[in-house]
A = this chain, B = another copy of it.
Amino acid sequence: MKHLLSIADLTRSDLDELLDLAASFLSVTQRETPKVPALRGRTVVSLFFEDSTRTRLSFETAAKRLSADVMVFSVATSSVKKGEGLRDTVATIAAMGIDAVVVRHAAAGAPRRITEWIDASIVNAGDGRHQHPTQALLDAFTITQHRGRDLSGMRVAIVGDVRNSRVARSDVQALSMLGAEVTLVAPPTLLPETLEGWPCSSAVDLDPLLPDLDAVMLLRIQHERDASTRFPSLREYTARYGLTEARARRLRPDALIMHPGPMNRGVEIAAAVADGPQSVIGEQVTNGVAARMAVLWKLLGAGGDVV
């Protein structure tokens, strides 16, 4: 495995290996000194064409815990503003002798194009509405930590702005590969136009599903995209799809409540629910570092010891 571009590229055994690695690295991050020399001398560049401090910081933390050097290519102050194209920007970074590039880009497919141009390993940290594979990995890892590796027969709902969500698309692929039955829940205007290629079902009503769910993931209403124009009002969205305290009480006591963050508290999730005992939202962030250590180690460190 040289790149991680899409969950769809992974076999079940790739996925199992990454989840095993994530578990090993989670235990590393809980040590007194949460750092291993595995990637000493390797250089990882983060190249983010869209803002995302959360994801960037998670990757940087992961890389530093593996003792890699981390460099930030800040697009805001880069040659990109002088009209340099993506290809030359990437070629320049590659020529400096780096080992991996973590890329976020507004255009679906940009990370895959980059693999055609340079030799380094490419990790997709989100491309348009297409894929966000490390998010899917950390979400799958979080569920399996609570339910075991075999998710056969488990029911997971992903609720919200599914149409715009690379998280939903990636999560569906990862969770269904592990056996889960995933249902996308959203107003019709926020569902994909077709479910072809999505190994899951969809629903317009959340309430009937609640008592049977093993996990429910609320997606962020993305004000900065066009989501909020696709339903009458935030108040109405919350009334039908928000995980309010009343709805949360109808979940099984062991159902997991998840959110990729950043949350709009009071919109897609009530504050008390986000902070309640069934929420694993903080675990998701913690597991994100472990999952990204697993990915970077798999791509760059193969052959050496994990710890």
Binding site for B on A (CB under 8 A): 29-30, 32-35, 40-41, 43, 51-54, 57-58, 60-61, 64, 69, 71, 73-74, 76-79, 81-85, 88-89, 91-98, 223-224, 261-265, 282-286, 288-289
Question: Given that A60-B71, A73-B57, A92-B261 are known contacts, is A286 also in contact with B79, CB under 8 Å in the complex?
Answer: no
Give which listed residue, B33, B35, B93, B282, contacts A95 with CB less than 8 A.
B282
Give which listed residue, B30, B41, B223, contacts A35 with CB less than 8 A.
B41
Which are the 7 A-B pairs with shortest beta-carbon distances?
A33-B41, A95-B285, A53-B78, A84-B262, A79-B262, A35-B41, A95-B282
| Min distance, Cβ A77 to any Cβ of chain B, angstroms | 5
Q: Is the CB of B33 within 8 A of A83?
A: no
Give which listed residue, B92, B95, B262, B265, contacts A82 with CB less than 8 A.
B262
Q: Which residues of B contact A265 (CB under 8 A)?
A: 85, 88
| Min distance, Cβ A154 to any Cβ of chain B, angstroms | 24
Question: Given that A35-B41, A88-B261 are known contacts, is A53 also in contact with B74, CB under 8 Å in the complex?
Answer: yes
Q: Could you give 10 example pairs across A and B, Cβ below 8 Å?
A: A29-B97, A32-B41, A33-B40, A57-B71, A61-B98, A64-B69, A83-B262, A84-B262, A91-B285, A95-B286
Q: Is the CB of A34 within 8 A of B41?
A: yes
Q: Is the CB of B35 within 8 A of A40?
A: yes
Q: Is the CB of B264 within 8 A of A54?
A: no
Give which listed residue, B29, B40, B81, contacts A51 with CB less than 8 A.
B81
User: Which residue on chain B has the smallest CB distance to residue A77?
Assistant: B51
User: Which residue on chain B has the smallest CB distance to residue A41?
Assistant: B33
| Min distance, Cβ A70 to any Cβ of chain B, angstroms | 9
Cα–Cα distance between A76 and B84 once the two chains are bound (Å): 22
Cα–Cα distance between A54 and B91 once the two chains are bound (Å): 11
Q: Which of A33, A69, A223, A283 gathers the greatest number of chain B CB atoms within 10 Å?
A: A69
Q: Is the CB of B286 within 8 A of A97?
A: yes
| Min distance, Cβ A106 to any Cβ of chain B, angstroms | 15
